[in-house]
């Protein structure tokens, strides 16, 4: 499906794009490295895919880490019952054309959400950096939507590991455009994320996906 491309920021020179591409190739194509069962290579992208009905990659009772993508991995933790586990998918990819926030987490709705009905839900996951010298510095929330009357809200929030204390939230309303926030003050190597969507009755369109993109200096 077509994905929304977040607005580009000034590249961070110390990201080391060539090194990232080299490491990515080693990560994806080194057949000797172990991969988390259930996470599969995502066709047409540099990354992985989880079908949300597969307990080998999304099992709230026993969370499964994804394969490491250069130096990051994701763990799906919980969801609302409104997530369609039979068709919705989670995509974890690296987009080297987005140097500031190249790690993309996309909840891809199949079929699209909304269609003039009340529709809401959430997904929880954590994303972790394996390099002990790095920390997350920024996140962008984006989506693909055809809704034009503003009757929907998307939100990304960051929590403590028990999801009892909310730390930072960013909200995206119509029109669909990226909203970036800084998380550098957290000095976090693991971010505990919650994505929420609320599409109200009477909306004149649909939401295709919710995408969060992450960066670390």
Per-position pLDDT tens, the chain of length 217:
444 333 333 333 333 333 333 333 333 333 333 346 689 998 888 899 999 999 999 999 999 999 999 999 999 999 999 898 889 999 999 998 888 899 999 999 988 887 767 888 999 999 999 999 999 998 988 888 888 777 888 889 999 999 999 999 888 766 556 678 889 888 999 999 999 998 888 888 788 889 999 998 7
The token duo for 68 is: 């490491």
User: Contact, 92 vs 66, CB < 8 A?
Assistant: yes
CB contact at 8 A, 143 and 176: yes
Q: Can you point out the beta strands (E) in the chain?
A: 40-41, 47-51, 72-79, 89-94, 103-114, 119-129, 138-145, 152-159, 166-173, 179-182, 190-199, 206-215
Look at residue 44 in the predicted model and tell me its pLDDT. 84
Residue 1 has a pLDDT of 44
CA dist., res. 26 & res. 17, Å (int): 14
Rounded CA-CA distance 209/3 in Å is 8
pLDDT for the residue numbered 118: 81
CB-based burial label for 211 (10 Å; 0-12, 13-18, 19+): buried
Q: How many residues does the chain have?
A: 217
């Amino acid at each position: 499906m077509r994905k929304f491309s977040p607005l580009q920021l000034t590249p961070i020179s110390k990201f080391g794009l060539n090194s990232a591409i080299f490491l990515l190739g080693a990560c994806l194509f080194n057949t000797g490295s172990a991969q988390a069962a259930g996470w599969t290579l995502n066709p047409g992208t540099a990354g992985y895919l989880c079908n949300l009905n597969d307990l080998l990659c999304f099992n709230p009772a026993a969370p499964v880490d994804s394969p490491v993508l250069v130096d990051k991995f994701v763990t799906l933790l919980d969801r609302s019952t409104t997530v369609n586990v039979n068709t919705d998918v989670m995509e974890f990819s690296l987009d080297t054309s987005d140097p500031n926030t190249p790690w993309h987490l996309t909840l891809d709705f199949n079929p699209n959400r909304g269609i003039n009905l009340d529709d809401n839900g959430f997904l929880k996951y954590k994303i972790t950096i394996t390099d002990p010298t790095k920390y997350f510095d920024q996140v962008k929330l984006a989506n693909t939507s055809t809704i034009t009357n503003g009757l929907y809200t998307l939100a990304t929030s960051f929590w403590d590991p028990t999801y009892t204390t909310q730390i930072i939230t960013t909200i995206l309303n119509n029109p669909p455009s990226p909203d970036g926030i800084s998380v550098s003050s957290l000095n976090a190597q693991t971010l505990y994320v919650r994505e929420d969507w609320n599409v109200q009755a009477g909306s004149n369109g649909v939401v295709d996906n919710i995408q969060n993109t992450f960066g670390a200096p």
